[in-house]
Amino acid sequence: MKWLRTYYAGLVLVCALLASGAQASSELLTFDNDGLRDRYEELSFQFRCPKCQNQNVADSNAPISQDIRQKTYEMLHQGFNDQEIIDFMVDRYTEFVIYKPQMSFVTIWLWIVPAFLLISGLTLLIRLTRSSRQGVPTELTADEQQRLKALMEDKS
Amino acid sequence: MFPEFGQFSLILAWLFSFLLAVLPLVGLKLKNESLLRTAPALAWGMFFFLVVSFGILMNAFLTDDFSVYLVSQHSNSALPWYFKMSATWANHEGSMLLWILMLGGWTVAVTVFARTLNFELKGAVLGVLGLIAFAFLMFILFTSNPFERFLPISPVDGSDLNPLLQDIGLIIHPPTLYMGYVGFSVAFAFAVAALLTGRFDASWVRWSRPWTNVAWAFLTLGIALGSWWAYYELGWGGWWFWDPVENASFMPWLIGTALIHSQAVTEKRNLFKSWSVLLAIFAFSFSLLGTFLVRSGVLTSVHSFAADPERGLFILVILALTIGGSLTLYALNAGKIKTNGQFELVSRESFILMNNILLVVIAFAVLFGTLLPLFADAFGWRKLSVGAPFFNLAFNLLMVVLLCFIAVGQLMRWKKDQLKNWTGFLLAIAAGAIVIALVLPWTLSGELHWQIWLGLSLVFWTAASLIRLVMDKTRHSKSFLAGVRKAGVGFWGMWIAHLGLLVSTTGVVLVSNLDIERDFRMTAGDEVVLENYRFEFESIGKVQGPNYVADQGVINVYRNDKAVAVLNPEKRFYPVKNNVMTEAGIDGNLFRDLYVSLAEPLDDERQVWSIRLQVKPFIRWLWFGAVLMAIGGTLSITDKRYRSTKKGATA
Amino acid sequence: MKIKPLLIIPLIVVLMIFSVFGYALLSGVNPKAVPSALTGDPLPDFKLSRLEDSKKFLTVSDLVGEPMLVNIWATWCASCKYEHPVLNSLAAQGVKIIGINYKDDRAAALTWLSEYANPYSIDIFDPNGDLGFDLGVTGAPETFFVDSSGEVRYRFQGPITDVNWQNKLKAIFDEMA
């Protein structure tokens, strides 16, 4: 009656699965707390896969991306802060590996140029409108109002 | 034998483009009317031979003519016919030919729809378009000939189309996108023609506006299609990566948006003439820059074609001559443009100028971010990457400012308005928007994100302003419908486009902040609960496609124990190219997308998989907003004033 | 002809950008090549076993002393097989090559070397890729050019071939001697 034994074994297994909430699947990576998960996701988003055609480490399945993700995960649980993890990777892969430009004399221009353009644009806007305002008197001065009044009364 | 006819046809098209470039422009210089009048006929000749050439290339793909090098590299006999057709432009040479074909198409469109345009201006416009065609046909003939052959022994079969491209996206995205890119050449041609002829009167802009709007609408759709395609095709659920090629399409769009607003001012108030000319030159310049970036190999991208520095240099020379030439022309002649008209700091003009400034700054921020790694590398400073973290921050900051202004700007009167007329209303709607943006998401989801609060406040504030606009326009009419009709197509085009912007913004704000993405280890029988959705992994099995073999998962999704969707993510293997591709299982509706993809098999039997599950709220709003923007842009050109009068309007 | 100075600015900016493009194209910029972060720095320290003896451990001081190539390879890497004969001939010419077997199986690697000849003076087994990670290895094969003081001079990504050795890499190696 081997089939009966198999049947009962299967039944027990099914019950065990049901009892465990049928959640036999597990998250691929478990985090000690949600804060670490958020930081992991943020860092995976910022790290660049060194071997791919422009992809971040989160979206790439290349072996080197997996390595970087794994190392990030470990370092997060070892208590390193974000900048330390970034510096660790940059020490090995150069700044190429981080999509978030690290502040330096070269990268500061990323902010200076648009800021400069914005300020120049605003200055231009104000100068254009100021000069036009000077040229167009939209209200009559008191003197001119008098003259207008006189002229109107004159006509009538 | 047939492909050689294609090449011969291309040479004839090139000759026509040469004549089109030279004769009318010489006629302009010598004030010779008959030379100028040759332009339309020459345009048709060029277009005809471009059509023939392109048709022959497409035919080579459709009939599996593997003696043609391109066909053997990018096609295969097992490929479905519609992919063979679109494989024509799935490569550098073929897509360049498509680009030129569209340029020819836009050129003849000008001869058809601008029939009553003054012959001098028309000749100049067609001449400029001919010049561009001439340059690029030379590029194609000398460096990127699509008709190269494998002779005398040709391959028996082809190397197949890249699996990522075997998709409907390939059929519609490039043509739509190119219609936009190339369409800006018409605005460019009008601007240069105006500089050449010295005719800067209002009619120049009136002629130019519809072309610009339609090109912009196509570009909007093209970019949205690209985003949607990347979303469902690449398998990771991303919809914008700030990849150099994506940026190459986004920059002309930003400048194009500034251009349509600037042209509106030029037409209505005869102001910003010089600025509109400059923007028109820039819009097309950014299009050409995109062509350069994608094909020269100076930047790495998932989208770029095979890199070739020699081609890169050729395009760079074309760029230097066209852009440099037009800007030189601008520097010399723009000073002659007379403007008389003024506007106040508080006026619609000034808000549109503000809009222009912000859009141009965004475009240059994106440009600089895209190019800095190249500059740093070329000069040997350091190897660095500039990616999404920078672009998101810069773009979001500037967009917040822009969104603040739109609500006010669209209410402003021309020339002069007084803020005090509006402060009461604006403060009221601002307060309302801030409150609703705080309360609504909180009651619906129980979560509070300051980014959503900020984004939705701006959206609601601008929406309230849109409603006020409609109310003002229809207030004095007999009935609402009569008011709607009276407001005019131009108004409604603007209104719908602005609404589209708000819809897209809502989608972006919500999906960026509420997106949930998790990786799980699953096998048949497992289930996971994510965000009220229960994902049950039913089974995984093998599936055979026309030219691939796939592991296909069956995933049932339930919400509150009610079946919501059945998803079929796949991991496909294409034997010809030895390529593996991830095909996501997606269920989408107006309020959320469920997105499932198979990442990697975790066991040898391929029964246990690492699976990525995503719930993406409101993502479709992003693309629907873009469709609305395109509709709005196209609607405005149906305005009566753009229809040519039968009496041959003075141009 | 009076030209308002403001109008020339777009032209100048554009020409500047184009010159940079031209320069980049002509000087052969390769956006995908990533220089080693360790250039100018000493080889990182490690403690890994020899490939042939799992009980014998080596550190960086065991390797350093003369100019050498440190080659990252694996049996699962197709290009490494392609590169191997070239390494054999270089070793025969007297070039010192250290082999780091990267994320591989010890037995498979030893079999591989006995089949295809062993150009390496020292064979190191890096099963988890720890040394590889510290070196900033992006894939196999990769070769590091290290001078006699143990300083990394250059990192080459991809297989060494006769052509690229003659054209470029030999010069780098000779300069270290």
Please report, for the domain that includes residue A94, its CATH number. 1.10.8.640
pLDDT at A11 over 80: no
Backbone φ and ψ of B278, nearest 5°: -65, -45
Q: How confident is the model at residue A5 (pLDDT cuts 50, 70, 90)?
A: low
The vertex-B227 CA angle with B222 and B230, nearest 5°, equals 120
Of C37, C103, C139, the CB nearest to A93: C37
Query: C97-102 and C122-126 as β-strands: parallel, antiparallel, unpaired?
Result: parallel
Q: What is the CATH number of domain C41-175?
A: 3.40.30.10
B139 HSE (CA, 13 A, CB side): 29
- In 10 A of CB C60, how many CB atoms? 16
DSSP for B74-96? H--TTS-HHHHHHHTTSSHHHHH
Phi-psi region of B618 (alpha: psi -120 to 50; beta: other; left: phi over 0): left
| pLDDT of amino acid B635 | 93
Q: Which of B143, B192, B332 should we substitute to test contact with C (largest number of C Cβ atoms within 10 Å)? A: B332
Q: How many CB pairs under 8 A join A and C?
A: 33
Q: Is the dihedral of CA C46, C52, C56, C61 positive or negative?
A: negative
pLDDT tens profile B123-138: 999 999 999 999 999 9
Does the beta carbon of B364 lie under 8 angstroms from any beta carbon of chain C?
no
Burial class (CB within 10 angstroms; exposed 0-12, middle 13-18, buried 19+) of C121: middle
Q: What is the pLDDT of residue B357?
A: 95
Give pLDDT, residue C6.
80
For C2-49, how does the pLDDT look when each residue is reduced to its tens digit (9 = 90+)? 567 788 889 999 999 999 999 988 887 787 788 888 998 999 999 999
| Residue of C15, C20, C35 lying closest to B324 (CB–CB) | C15
Tell me which residues of chain A, numbers 15 to 34, contact chain B at a CB-CB cutoff of 8 Å: 17, 22-29
Q: In B64-215, where do the E strands start and end?
A: none
Residues of A in contact with B361 (CB under 8 A): 114, 117-118, 121
Residues above pLDDT 70, as percent of chain C: 98
Tell me the CA distances in angstroms from C141 to B268, B401, C89, one per residue in order: 65, 50, 17
- B partners (3+ CB pairs within 8 A) are A, C
Closest chain B residue to A121, measured at CA: B357
Residues of chain C positioned with their CB less than 8 A from the CB of A64: 137-139
**Omega prior to C141 cis, within 30 of 0:** yes
Give domain status of residue A108, yes or no. Answer: no
Q: Which residues of B touch A48 (CB under 8 A)?
A: 385, 387
Q: What is the mean pLDDT of chain C?
A: 90
pLDDT given at position C57:
93
Nearest Cα to Cα of residue B565 among B604, B615, B611, B608? B615
With an 8 Å Cβ cutoff, are B376 and A106 in contact? yes
Residue A62 resides in a domain: yes
pLDDT at B219 over 50: yes
- Any domain includes A17: no
Report, as an integer, the average pLDDT of B208-230.
95
- Its ipTM equals 0.87
Please determine, for residue B306, whether its predicted confidence score (pLDDT) is greater than 80: no
In a domain? residue A67:
yes
Contacts of A55 in chain C (CB under 8 A): none
Q: What is the reported pLDDT for A34?
A: 83
Query: What's the pLDDT tens digit per position in A120-153?
Result: 999 988 888 876 555 545 455 566 667 767 776 6
Q: In which domain, by residue range, is A60 found?
A: 29-99
Give the residue from B280, B288, B209, B398 showing the smallest Cα distance to A121: B398
Number of domains in chain A: 1
Question: What pLDDT shows up at residue B380?
Answer: 82
- Domain membership of residue A72 (yes or no) is yes
pLDDT at position B231 is 93
Sheet holding B592-601, edge to edge: A26-27, B516-522, B609-617, B592-601, B585-588
Average pLDDT, rounded, for chain A: 79
B637: pLDDT confidence band, cut at 50, 70 and 90?
Answer: confident
> Residue B148 burial (CB < 10 Å; 0-12/13-18/19+)?
middle
Place of tokens 């930003």: B254
pLDDT digits (tens, 9 = 90+) for C52-101: 888 999 999 988 889 999 999 999 999 999 999 999 999 999 899 999 99
Q: What is the mean pLDDT of chain B?
A: 90
**What distance in Å separates the CA atoms of residue B137 and residue B100, rounded to the nearest whole number?**
7
Helices vs strands, H then E, count in chain A: 6, 1
